[in-house]
C-alpha cells in the first residue's frame, strides 16, 4: 500500500469516528419524519438507510466528503457530485429530495435567503454569460428538449402531455395572449432556437424577428427558418436588446415577447430594459414578459450554497427579482398590467421531464459535453424542478399594454380570448 493510500485510509477511519455517528443521527431524524428512499454508501462499503426501500444510492468515493456530510447543504452536495466525489445510482430526483432532507435535518434549509449584490451587466459580460450557458452545444440540448427545442416553461392542460405537446401549447398560449394578427410586426427578445417566431410567422401571419446573443442559437434558428420556407416572414439577428431601437427604429413593433431572457438583464438594468421595449413598441402595443421570479420580496430565496452553485456553473450573473419589482418598473415606463399568470407547477413539470429525458441519454450527452458538464446539468435540472415544486422560486407571464396616451387599451373587456 502506498503512503498516499495509507494516509487516505487513516484519514477515513479518523473522520469516520467523528462523523459516522453524526450521519446516523441525521438518518434517524429523517426516518422519524417518514424517511426517504435512499441509501448512503460509505467508503468502507457500509450503508446508512434513510428509512424506506431505496430508489437511489448516494455513493461516497472520497472519504473527505464525510466531514462535509456531517453538516451538509445542497450546495456542498452538488459540488461533490459534479466533481465526482460522490455518485448517484438510480433516480436522481429521489437523491435530490433526500439531499434536501439531509440539509434540513442538519439545520441548513434551502429557504434561507442570501443577499447578492446586483451586477452592472455590461454588454461584454452579458454576451460571455449567454455563451457560457447556451453555447454548450446544440446537439446537447437536442437530446432532452422537445422537437422544436423550446428552452422555457411548457404549458400543461392536464400534466399528462408529452413535452412536445406542452411546448406547442405554450407557444400558442403566448401568441393568443398577444393577440397576434396577420401583418403585425412581432419581436422576440432572447429568441432561443426560434421556436416562437417560427410558430408566430407560420400560424399567426406576423412578420417575426428574434434577437439573441448566442451564436449557436442564431445559426440553428436561421437554418430552421430557411427549412420552414419562412425567409422574408421571420428572421433572427445577433443583437443586444439595448441596441435594438437604433437598429430597428422607434415604434417598430406591434407586439413584443421576452421568454426566459429577463433573468439575464440584472435588477440595475430593469429601467433600461423596459424603456428600450417602450421605445420599440407603438402606442397600445403589447408586451409579454415571461421570467423566473423570486419568492422572497427582498431578494433571491435560495441559500445554503444553491445560489452560488447556479451562479458559478449554470447561469453566471443571473438575478431574480420579486414580481412586484417587475410590475413597478413596467408602470414607470407607461405600461398597464393586464394579466399576470403564475406557471410554477408547469415549470416543475417541465424540468422533471427534461431531467428524465437527459437521464435516458447520459452516454450520448457525456460524449458531447464531457463528464463534469453532464453532472452539472443533471444536478441543475433535477434540483431546479424540486425548487419550483417547493416554491423556492416562481415563473410568471406578465401581459402589459403600452399606454403612452390616455384612453382605453385595444384589449377586450374579458380574457376569454386567451383560452379560445
Is 140 in the same domain as 207?
yes
Region 82-103: what's the mean pLDDT? 91
Strand partners, 339: 399
Is 214 in the same domain as 259?
yes
Is 151 in the same domain as 10?
no
**CATH of residue 410:** 3.40.50.150
Is 278 in the same domain as 212?
yes
Q: Is residue 112 part of a domain?
A: no
DSSP for residue 119: P
41 phi/psi in degrees, rounded to 5: -95, 110
C-alpha cell at 196: 416562437
Is 130 in the same domain as 237?
yes
**CATH of residue 98:** 3.30.1050
Is 92 in the same domain as 135?
no
Is 98 in the same domain as 228?
no
> Which residues have a Cβ under 8 Å from the Cβ of 100 and sit 6 or more positions away?
74, 110, 386, 390
Is 100 in the same domain as 130?
no
186-213 residue pLDDT tens: 999 999 999 999 999 999 999 999 999 9
Is 254 in the same domain as 338?
yes
Q: Is residue 113 part of a domain?
A: no
Is 70 in the same domain as 199?
no
316 pLDDT tier (thresholds 50, 70, 90): confident
Is 300 in the same domain as 171?
yes
24-50 residue pLDDT tens: 788 888 898 899 999 998 887 889 899
295 phi/psi in degrees, rounded to 5: -85, -5
First to last CA, the chain: 73
Which residue matches cell numbers 433516480? Answer: 91
Region 242-264: what's the mean pLDDT? 95
Q: Is the pTM of this model over 0.85?
A: yes
User: Taking CA 333 as the corner, what is the angle to CA 332 and CA 339, rounded to the nearest 5 degrees?
Assistant: 90
Report the relative pairing of strands 51-60 and 86-90 from DSSP bridges: antiparallel
pLDDT value at residue 302: 46
Q: In the chain, what percentage of residues exceed pLDDT 90? A: 66
Q: Is residue 306 part of a domain?
A: yes
Domain of 294? 123-419
Amino acid at each position: 500500500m502506498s503512503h498516499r493510500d495509507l494516509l487516505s485510509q487513516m484519514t477515513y477511519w479518523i473522520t469516520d469516528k467523528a462523523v459516522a455517528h453524526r450521519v446516523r443521527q441525521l438518518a434517524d431524524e429523517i426516518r422519524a419524519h417518514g424517511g426517504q428512499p435512499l441509501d448512503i454508501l460509505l467508503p468502507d462499503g457500509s450503508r446508512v438507510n434513510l428509512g424506506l426501500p431505496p430508489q437511489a444510492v448516494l455513493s461516497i468515493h472520497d472519504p473527505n466528503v464525510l466531514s462535509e456530510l456531517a453538516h451538509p447543504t445542497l450546495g456542498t452536495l452538488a459540488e461533490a457530485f459534479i466533481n465526482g466525489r460522490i455518485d448517484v445510482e438510480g433516480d436522481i430526483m429521489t437523491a435530490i429530495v433526500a439531499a434536501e432532507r439531509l440539509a434540513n435535518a442538519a439545520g441548513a434549509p434551502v429557504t434561507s435567503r442570501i443577499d447578492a449584490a446586483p451586477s452592472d451587466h455590461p454588454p461584454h459580460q452579458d454576451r460571455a454569460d449567454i455563451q457560457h450557458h447556451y453555447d454548450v452545444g446544440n446537439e446537447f440540448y437536442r437530446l432532452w428538449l422537445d422537437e422544436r427545442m423550446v428552452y422555457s416553461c411548457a404549458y400543461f392542460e392536464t400534466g399528462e402531455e408529452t413535452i412536445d405537446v406542452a411546448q406547442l401549447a405554450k407557444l400558442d398560449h403566448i401568441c393568443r395572449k398577444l393577440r397576434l394578427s396577420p401583418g403585425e410586426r412581432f419581436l422576440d427578445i432572447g429568441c432561443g432556437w426560434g421556436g416562437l417566431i417560427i410558430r408566430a410567422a407560420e400560424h399567426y401571419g406576423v412578420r417575426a424577428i428574434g434577437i439573441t446573443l448566442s451564436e449557436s442559437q442564431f445559426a440553428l434558428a436561421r437554418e430552421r427558418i430557411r427549412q420552414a420556407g419562412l425567409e422574408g416572414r421571420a428572421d433572427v439577428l445577433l443583437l443586444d436588446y439595448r441596441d435594438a431601437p437604433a437598429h430597428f427604429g422607434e415604434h417598430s413593433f406591434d407586439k413584443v415577447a421576452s421568454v426566459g431572457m429577463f433573468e439575464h438583464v440584472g435588477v440595475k438594468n430593469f429601467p433600461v430594459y423596459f424603456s428600450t421595449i417602450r421605445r420599440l413598441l407603438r402606442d397600445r402595443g403589447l408586451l409579454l414578459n415571461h421570467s423566473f421570479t423570486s419568492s422572497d420580496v427582498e431578494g433571491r430565496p435560495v441559500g445554503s450554497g444553491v445560489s452560488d452553485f447556479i451562479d458559478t456553473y449554470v447561469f453566471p450573473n443571473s438575478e431574480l427579482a420579486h414580481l412586484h419589482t417587475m410590475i413597478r418598473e413596467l408602470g414607470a415606463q407607461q405600461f398597464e398590467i393586464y394579466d399576470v399568470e403564475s406557471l410554477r407547477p408547469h415549470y416543475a413539470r417541465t424540468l422533471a421531464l427534461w431531467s428524465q429525458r437527459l437521464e435516458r441519454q447520459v452516454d450520448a450527452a457525456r460524449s458531447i459535453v464531457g463528464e463534469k458538464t453532464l453532472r452539472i446539468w443533471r444536478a441543475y435540472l433535477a434540483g431546479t424542478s424540486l425548487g419550483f415544486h417547493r416554491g423556492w422560486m416562481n415563473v410568471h407571464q406578465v401581459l402589459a399594454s403600452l399606454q403612452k396616451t390616455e384612453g382605453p387599451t385595444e384589449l377586450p373587456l374579458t380574457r376569454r380570448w386567451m383560452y379560445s
